[in-house]
Amino acid sequence: QVVQKIKASGNQVLLAVLDGDSYEAAKGLGRDLSQMLPEDIRPRLCHVTRDKSGFGFSVSCPEGTKGTFQLSVLQDGPADRAGVPPGCWLLELNGDSVKSYSHTQLTRKLKQSGNKVTLLVASSAVEEFYRLRGLRVTAALADTSRLPFKVRELHLVKGPAGYGFLLKEDDCSSGGVGQFLWDVDVGLPAEQAGMREGDRVLAVNGESIEGLDHEQTVHRIRAREDQVTLLVIDPAGDEFYHSVGPGGTLLLWL
């Protein structure tokens, strides 16, 4: 999985590392190492839903320039509630870079977004951090904790009637083929674990099934006789993560 993440980063990768002594100290204190990347060097991915007042932010751009957009955020408005920080810089809109956009083009794109929009934003300090290191800020590096879409881990223990679901291979809305969960039986382990019809399987027992066909996935599920752990995403979440661009699959793991 670590190798997959590094390969998915393209030609550049940002690594957060600890020296050996610090690692042992952190583990000894029970620190969650996945949470030790400082928040102040991460861009933020925010999903904003329009209300009667709009999206709750306005955009300013120096006259005669392209791709430089700063956001003013209305307190307690939709953008504020979605986690958009005041005074941040807009880097991507709905998975597309705004680097070549004029203010008019950006305004048009926002109108075309309908009632929902996904923003990749960064403070001045974050933008400078990446620029000085020659790194491009992408959604794959973002803090996604404020997004409404989450992957779910389901642990199933087989009962006398089995797990109580069917696995079917089908086309993904974003392209390609995926493994989907259907016919979830009421009262059986799958439903009790929180499985929902239409969920797509991302991993089995902690290992990604990306690239596996139906038969190979079934074999993974049956590898342990009486239990299995599935990582799944519902259709709305699946569609969202693929809409934010090439880093979408990586975001699911992050």
Tell me what the pLDDT averaged over the chain comes to. 86
Cα torsion at 32, 37, 38, 41 (round to 10°)? -160
pLDDT tens by residue, 75-116: 999 999 999 999 999 999 998 999 999 999 999 999 999 999
Q: Check residue 193 and give its pLDDT.
A: 95
In this structure, are residues 95 and 118 in contact, taking their beta carbons and an 8 Å threshold?
A: yes
Q: Of 72-81, 110-119, 172-181, 239-248, where does mean pLDDT reach its minimum? A: 239-248
DSSP alpha helix (H) spans, 169-246: 189-192, 214-221, 235-243
Q: Of 2-6, 27-31, 34-38, 153-157, where does mean pLDDT reach its minimum? A: 34-38
- Give the pLDDT band of residue 35 (cuts 50, 70, 90): low
| Cα–Cα distance, 124 to 87 (Å, whole number) | 8
Query: Backbone phi, then psi, for 9, in 5-degree steps?
Result: -80, -5
Q: Check residue 251 and give its pLDDT.
A: 55
Q: Of 22-36, 187-201, 217-231, where does mean pLDDT reach its minimum? A: 22-36
In this structure, are residues 57 and 74 in contact, taking their beta carbons and an 8 Å threshold?
A: yes
Structure tokens given for 217: 């996935």
pTM above 0.85, yes or no: no
Structure tokens given for 30: 């029970």
Nearest partner of 138 among 249, 238, 56, judged by Cα: 249
DSSP 85: P
In this structure, are residues 180 and 198 in contact, taking their beta carbons and an 8 Å threshold?
A: yes
pLDDT tens by residue, 123-174: 888 888 888 777 778 777 788 888 888 889 999 999 999 999 999 999 886 6
Nearest partner of 216 among 153, 231, 207, judged by Cα: 207
Domains in the chain: ranges and CATH:
1-35 (no CATH), 41-141 (2.30.42.10), 152-252 (2.30.42.10)
Can you tell me the mean pLDDT for 118-123?
92
- Give the pLDDT band of residue 40 (cuts 50, 70, 90): low
